[in-house]
Amino acid sequence: MFAQNADEQKSEILALESIYDTDKFATDRTKDGRLRGKITIEVPMTMKMTLTAAVGTKRKTVQVENLSPVYLEFVLPNDYPSSSPPEVSLSAAWLDSSMSAELLKRLNEFWTENVGMPVLYSWSQVVQDEAATLMNATELDLDHIAASQIRSKRRISIDQSLTTASGDGDLPSSSSATLTGEQRLSLICDYDELVRRRQFETGWYQCNVCLSEKSGRHSLEFYPCGHVFCIECVNGYFSVQIKDGAVRQLHCMEDKCKSEATPQQVRLAVPAELYERYERLLLSQTLDLMTDIVVCPRPQCQAPVLLDAPVEVSGANGGRLLPPMATCAQCRFTFCNYCRKVYHGLEPCSFNKNDRGKLLKEYQNGDAETKRQLEARFGKRKLEALVNDFLADEWMGTHSKRCPKCYVNIEKQDGCNKMHCTKCNTLFCWLCMRVLTGPDPYAHFNNPVGTTCFNQLFQGVVMDDDDVDDI
């Protein structure tokens, strides 16, 4: 009986290999020598399906025309098909635990009616037909499906003798039980685009830009608008945008249309080196929006780095936060996320002098929490000194001028416009800042030719009554 079962199993596998393409059917053997395999089953759809899932902090809703395949993984017991059914598991990105249980129940019923017969091909047809029947909804919440799969930690077996397919072989597993809603959405959308692209490539289309008619292989269709352009025109538009760094503005070229290009469409439209730039810029811009991931500050590395959580420490002046520390897993550089320099612990961040004005404005105009965070980052005394220095510089700029020779700041409190620098003994005009040379420095104010300071010796001087009396 063992030899007969082995022969029937080999015959069944050969038959399946002749029916399915290599990308739809694969086999190997488990460690104990049993045949193991995976059948990819495409499920036909008669209407569009609306999918929702949480992507970051928002919920994303998309419509698809094709659902990703159901994967039927099996292991053949030594007494199959004479006595025991195959061990089997079903998985798909859109399949929840209740639908899996119902499909496995249908497979069990089919085995009960056909004990002793090879059933793998028939099972694949049952899954294909019944999955389409069970899919009676037009909307799927993929987060709900992910949660239901997590709650159902084990596969539901067919009857008592039909157990989960063993995973001890080398065949890649297609299990989707641990996928998040966002991952499921990505898988389904990628598959939907792949199928639509294959169908699209069989036709001929007119480009909406150059009006030439080209095959689907040399055209792109945007979703969900359906506008079609030749790849040559799309390449010209996308190339300019990517070179300018506008990787989030790769939209349909129809006027006022906001359909976005998918990464797969960008890959088809532009050369490999531009696509690499697109991926790099897109990753960088995405990381900029994430609060817990930064890019390694070393120019030769630039790898994504996960930040450590801020740590509050106590001190004489109360608690303060240690700056977020991060260690690059690729180059092992440990740095402060605030200043992007080597990690300095409790020592305040050093700031760029060119950013003093911006930092000061942020500190002076910020609320209590903003000021607390800046003080934790740069130190309260350092910021207060910065404020005082800035105010002093501002006052000096308004109320003083620099000596035209030694450039020391000089304040004019009263007196005429002939000034004397006590540092370098230079005489100069306060109005035009010209150095006064010659034996008579007042000649500058008495000469009507070649100067705007004629008769301006006391220009701007506020005289009190005593000064008038003296005159």
Q: Find out whether 78 and 45 touch, Cβ atoms under 8 Å.
A: no
Distance of CA 418 to the CA centre of its chain: 64
Q: Find out whether 193 and 264 touch, Cβ atoms under 8 Å.
A: yes
Q: Find out whether 302 and 295 touch, Cβ atoms under 8 Å.
A: yes
Q: Which of 206, 361, 287, 155 is nearest to 371 (CA)?
A: 361
Q: Dihedral sign, CA of 232, 237, 241, 243?
A: positive
**Could you give the residue ranges of the DSSP H alpha helices within 289-435?**
356-365, 368-378, 380-399
Partnered with residue 311 across adjacent β-strands are 322
| Distance in angstroms (rounded) separating the CA atoms of residues 402 and 396 | 10
| Sequence letter at residue 331 | C
Cβ within 8 Å of residue 313, ≥6 positions away: 319, 320, 321, 322, 346
> Mind telling me the catalytic residues?
416
| Distance in angstroms (rounded) separating the CA atoms of residues 412 and 426 | 15
Q: Which of 252, 197, 193, 200 is nearest to 222 (CA)?
A: 252
CA distances from 115 to 83, 106, 372, 427 (A): 7, 14, 74, 116
Tokens of 377: 């980052």
Q: Dihedral sign, CA of 126, 130, 131, 132?
A: positive
Cβ within 8 Å of residue 300, ≥6 positions away: 331
> Residue 228: exposed, middle, or buried by beta-carbon count in 10 A (0-12, 13-18, 19+)?
buried
